Structure 1
Amino acid sequence: MKIAFVCNGNSFKSIIGEKFGNEFNDGTFEIFSAGTKPAEKLNEVGKKIMESRGYSMDGYFPKDMDKLPSKLDVLVKMGCNIDCPIYMADKVVNFGLEDVTDKEKCIELIEIKVKELLETLRRGRKKESTASC
């Protein structure tokens, strides 16, 4: 199952979503992130907060939407007031983080929301495989 986290710059919210997606992935998902107008580098404040929590952001960098797979199962909008090409995803989820200005709080919310999303998707896959037996 392919999941992409998207926002404007792919320097903070969406790339943190990608990082948490990779951290909490049990091998079920392929995790991506991208931005409609990618920044040149990671948000330094967000990077420092993640590192202070023990999460290395090495190897993570802003990417353009054209780097995403042509077909996604889930497109996660981070709540950055953007229009995403939703035609490429079976399901669109909006984390609704547009009004969260405190970066520490935003990271906490992203962590919670990513865990919840992955767990929901895992349960859904288990139900589908049970139903097909």
Structure 2
Amino acid sequence: MKYKVAFVCVHNSCRSQMAEGWAKSLDKNVMDVYSAGTENYPQVKPMAVQVMKEVGIDISSHKPKLLTDIPNDIDIVIKMGCNVNCPYLPSKHTEDWGLIDPSGGTIEDFRKTRDILKDKVEDLARRIASEELVI
């Protein structure tokens, strides 16, 4: 079963963009991937683009999107951990990954977040493919 998965946060400029990049690099038969936020932001954070490029994933063409820019029939919503009011998007399953936003931090903070996201996205894809995550 292929699910529509949305990674969401407030600005859609860092964590959710990196998660989208990781997910799109995986098996396309498991999920259709989107990311979005609740507030406009001018661009994806340059350090997010840089650390993803270090692992061969190019998100330089990504633009921050709003929840209204993605389909409204999402199956799985993954919240990044907002520390404020997290965005709401109707779905069949929601998880909050509770990740610290590396924005304003060092390049090492961005790399740490990138690597955590890789593990979490791969685990999500595995749970979907093995039907461990039943929706």
Fold-level similarity (TM above 0.5)? yes
The alpha-carbon deviation at position 99 of structure 1 amounts to 6.6
Residue of structure 2 aligned with 1:63, choices 65, 70, 74:
65
Question: Structure 1 99/62 Cα, relative in aligned 2: closer, same or farther at 3 Å?
Answer: closer
Equivalents in 2 of 1:45, 1:8: separation in Å?
18
Question: Structure 1 22/103 Cα, relative in aligned 2: closer, same or farther at 3 Å?
Answer: same
What's the TM-score once normalised by structure 2's chain length? 0.85
* Letter of the 1:120 counterpart: R
Partner of 1:119: 126
Residue of structure 2 aligned with 1:84, choices 79, 84, 87:
87
The alpha-carbon deviation at position 65 of structure 1 amounts to 0.8
Listed as ranges, the gaps of 5+ residues in structure 1 are 129-133
Moved more, 119-128 or 26-35: 119-128
The alpha-carbon deviation at position 56 of structure 1 amounts to 1.0
Listed as ranges, the gaps of 5+ residues in structure 2 are none
Q: Over aligned residues, Cα RMSD in angstroms?
A: 2.1
Q: Which runs of 4+ in 1 moved over 4 A?
A: 125-128
Moved more, 19-28 or 103-112: 19-28
Deviations 1:71-105 (A, max 9, x none): 1110000112232224x100001111037661110
Question: Alignment identity in percent?
Answer: 25
* Letter of the 2:45 counterpart: N
What's the TM-score once normalised by structure 1's chain length? 0.86
Q: Which has the higher helix share?
A: 1
Residue of structure 2 aligned with 1:54, choices 53, 56, 64:
56
Residue of structure 2 aligned with 1:20, choices 12, 19, 22:
22
SS in 2 for 1:6: strand
Question: Structure 1 9/125 Cα, relative in aligned 2: closer, same or farther at 3 Å?
Answer: same
Structure showing greater Rg = 1
- Count of matched residue positions in the alignment of Structure 1 and Structure 2: 127
Question: Structure 1 50/32 Cα, relative in aligned 2: closer, same or farther at 3 Å?
Answer: same
Partner of 1:108: 115
Question: Structure 1 17/99 Cα, relative in aligned 2: closer, same or farther at 3 Å?
Answer: closer
